[in-house]
Structure 1
Amino acid sequence: MTLIENTQVITVDAERRELSHASVVIDGTRIVSVGDTPDRLPDDTLRADGTGCVLTPGLINTHHHLYQWITRGLAADHTLFQWLTTLYPIWAGIDEDAVRTAALGGLTQLALSGCTTTTDHHYVFPPRGGDLLGAEIDAAATVGLRFHPTRGSMDLSEKDGGLPPDSVVQTLDEILAASSNAVARWHDPSAESMLRIALAPCSPFSVTTDLLRESALLARELGVRMHTHLAESLDENTYCDEHFGCTPLQYMESVGWVGDDVWFAHGIEFDDAEIGRLAATATGVAHCPTSNARLGNRICRTRDLVDAGVPVGLGVDGAASSESCRLLEEAHQAVLMARAKDGPTALTTRTAMELATIGGARVLGRHHDTGSIEVGKLADLVLWDLSTVAHSGIDDPVAALVLGAIPPIAGTWVNGRRIVADGTMLTVDAERVAADVAHEHRRLLAKAG
Structure 2
Amino acid sequence: MATRTPQEWITDYPLLERLVALEETLWLKPDLPRAEEGLAHVGIGPDQIQDAADRLKRFAPYLQQVFPETAPSAGVIESPLRHVPAMKEAIEDLTGQQIKGQLWAKLDSHLPISGSIKARGGIYEVLQHAEALALDHGLITLDSDYRLLDSAEARELFGQHRVAVGSTGNLGLSIGIMSAKLGFQAAVHMSADARQWKKDLLRSHGVEVVEYEQDYSVAVAAGRRAAEDDERVYFVDDENSVSLFLGYAVAGARLAGQLQAMDVRITEKEPLHVYLPCGVGGGPGGVAFGIKAIFGDAARCYLAEPTHSPAMFIGVHTGAHDQLAVQDFGIDNVTAADGLAVGRPSGFVGERMQYLIDGYYTVSDENMFRGVALFDRSEDVQCEPSSATSFFGPGAIGRSGTHLAWITGGAMVPEDEMASYIARGEELL
Asked whether the two chains share a fold, i.e. TM above 0.5, the reply is no
The structure that is helix-richer by fraction is 2
